[in-house]
Amino acid sequence: MESPVRILHFDDNPFDGQLVSREITRRGMPAQLSCVSSMADFKNALAKKDFDIVLTDCGMSSVDGGKVLSMVRTACPDIPLIMVTGEVGEERAIETLKQGATDYVLKSNLQRLVPAIERALQEGEQSRKKVEVEEQLRKSERLYRAVGETINYGIWVCNTDGKNTYASPSFLNLVGMTQEECSEFGWGRVLHPDESSSTIDAWKEIVRSGSQWERVHRFMGVDGKYHHVLARGIPVRDEKGNIICWAGINLDIEDLKDAESRLRSSEQMLKEIIRSSPSFVCLLRGPNHVFELANEEYLKLVGRRDIIGKPNREALPDGERQGFVTLLDQVYKSGHPFVGREMKAKVGGGDGQPPTENYIDMVILPMKEMDGSVSGLYVHGNDVTEQVHARQIIEQNEARLNMVMEYADVAAWQCDSQFRYTWVYRPRLRIRAEDCIGKTAVEVVGEDSGGQVFSLQKEAISKGASARRVIRYMFNGVERFLDSRADPLRDSHGTIIGAMGVSLEVTERMQTEQRLKKSEEYMRAMVKKSNDPMVLIDETGIIECISEIAAQQLGYELEDIVGIHVEKLLDWGTKLDLMFRYQDFLRHLPEPSKSSLRIKRKNGTWCWMNLSASVMNFGQKPHKYLLKSDSIEPERFIGNPQGSPPRIP
């Protein structure tokens, strides 16, 4: 399972923190998000250093964004930092990047956040690896330079009794004594106490036996430290074979031993770097390509097989059948690297599991000795199956989109920041696409319609958000309408570089809406001028229009009754009755419904109105109800003076 990315987010607006968290979750990034909104909490979180990336706002009201950036760069120079901020000018953005920010993402364009985080982490990882490798190289260079520059040869000569008669200045300088002191076995006094007596006894035995002398021991140097010294000597004989003296050298190998230790550490560190690499890596030795080292990612790639110490052919027989061993042989023999992109490979297959077909990027590099001969191979690569599949899906979606646009009769376009078309797909009005490129909308279709398109493009670019409107065209004397939408077009850094948009022919819809509008206006005029008591009510019960005679019957002026709710004219019993009648009314649509309702006049008196109600439908708008009074009667309390009046079925 992929380890979650540890994210520290500092923003004094908790709502923005929720937006960032929601965007990361929506994009499916495994993340452990720590949100802080105060400087004190940020300092505490920064001190723990348990995060992989920092997100912050350079435009917070209570905190200086530059100070936050400086704190992160000081405390964690290797941790990437992304500014997630509101509108920011170009100069401010450049200044932020110069101060050490890895990237910046506008809060109005959070869809860039997850790709920016992934890119920053990848670049940070590559940068850290590069620094580590360069540091190891520098250490190795310093080590080898030190070994070459500090080796000291101490020449010595002893007589037949083993007493030193000459020691070169290099040895005397090493131990800090004079020749006289050295001649009196002074060198024995600077030996390590653990080795002094055993070394002197061994030297006396060599003198007695006339054998060659070779021994590693430790001398106390003038720096107060013990130095490892390799002592070698042979007996010098005359022509008769008699020993006349002893001659040899003392080699200060302390730096050499230190260099060996550092080299072992360097090699071990290099192996650790390989093991922890997110890419798959392996080292192969010899012409049979024996596995010397393979990191975790490589073992996962080959199904965790037991491969270390085995030739490639034996460890991965399916690789030979796919031609990979042939590639290894070619690089080993030629000494030239191989680079492969999106290579199909059947991988896995360990523990009896069937292999899977993946795509890999792979580099095979020859490892050469000092004489230029190839001694092994370095294999490095990445499993890019997900990227290839994602690209294939994108290509399929693009093909589907083109097909949908073809069948949906949709036009599309792009323009630059100067509003000149850079791409046009299926333009309308019998205009050819190639005639639009490099021109503005005004230049293509004229001042009237082109000005409307220009205004749409300008709104999208200036506001950095979608803009939409229906644009009217006149073509060959015929009025046409296009429902057009424009969106800002951004580069990889989020900078707006133009606009893109689509247009759909809606002439028939607009003409229908115009006819419906005229029909509604006609209905209002008819009701107002009617000689019959008539009322037009909207779907919420508000009186929209009423005839003069109906207003007079209720004691209202036209301007007083229009806009009030019909509930103000009804008693509670009538309201309850209407609630039960409403469902029955809907079931019998579009047939008119008749009712006798108790209505309150403006002066507070009550009357009975025999009404017929019809539904008026004006297209996509909500229904309206037309009420017509057939007759009006005075209030009746026959047989029930205290309660509600009886209802007429």
Helix (H) or strand (E) holding 624: strand 624-634
% of the chain at pLDDT higher than 70 = 86
What are the pLDDT digits (tens) for 585-613?
Answer: 555 555 566 777 788 888 888 888 777 77
Contacts of 246 (CB under 8 A, 6+ apart): 157, 158, 159, 160, 162, 207, 213, 233, 234, 235, 236
Could you give the CA distance from residue 168 to residue 152 in angstroms, rounded to a whole number? Answer: 10
What single letter denotes the amino acid at residue 647? R
CATH of segment(s) 518-634: 3.30.450.20
Could you give the CA distance from residue 633 to residue 511 in angstroms, rounded to a whole number? Answer: 45
Please determine, looking at this structure, whether the domain spanning 409-505 carries the CATH number 3.30.870.10. no
For residue 1, the model assigns a pLDDT of 47
pLDDT band, residue 645 (cuts 50/70/90): very low
When mean pLDDT is compared across 301-315, 356-370, 560-574, the lowest value belongs to: 560-574
Please determine, looking at this structure, whether the domain spanning 277-388 carries the CATH number 3.60.130.10. no
Other residues' Cβ atoms within 10 Å of the Cβ of residue 19: 16
* First vs last C-alpha separation in the chain: 73
Is it the case that residue 649 has pLDDT exceeding 50?
A: no
Contact 629, 609 (CB under 8 A): yes
Which residues lie across from 627 on neighbouring strands?
Answer: 535, 613
What are the pLDDT digits (tens) for 616-638?
Answer: 765 555 667 777 776 667 765 43
Domain boundaries, the chain: 5-127, 152-252, 277-388, 409-505, 518-634
DSSP count for the chain of H helices, then E strands: 21, 25
pLDDT band, residue 289 (cuts 50/70/90): very high
For 377, the 3-state DSSP assignment is strand
Structure tokens at 436: 């639009």
Is it the case that residue 149 has pLDDT exceeding 90?
A: no
């309390």: which residue's tokens?
637
Sheet holding 496-505, edge to edge: 421-425, 410-416, 496-505, 478-490, 467-475
Q: For domain 152-252, give its CATH number from 3.30.420.40, 3.30.450.20, 3.30.70.260, 3.40.630.90.
A: 3.30.450.20
Could you give the CA distance from residue 599 to residue 607 in angstroms, rounded to a whole number? Answer: 5
CATH of segment(s) 5-127: 3.40.50.2300
- How open is the CA angle 289-292-296, to the nearest 5 degrees? 115
When mean pLDDT is compared across 55-59, 304-308, 400-404, 559-563, the lowest value belongs to: 400-404
Tell me if 5-127 shares its fold with 409-505: no
CA nearest neighbour of 111 among 231, 27, 4: 27
Is it the case that residue 219 has pLDDT exceeding 50?
A: yes
Is it the case that residue 340 has pLDDT exceeding 70?
A: yes
CA atoms within 13 A on the CB side of 347: 20
When mean pLDDT is compared across 164-173, 328-337, 383-392, 569-578, the lowest value belongs to: 569-578
For residue 347, the model assigns a pLDDT of 83
For residue 618, the model assigns a pLDDT of 59
pLDDT band, residue 101 (cuts 50/70/90): confident
Contact 57, 11 (CB under 8 A): yes
| pTM reported for the whole predicted model | 0.36
DSSP H helices in 6-86? 14-26, 39-48, 65-75
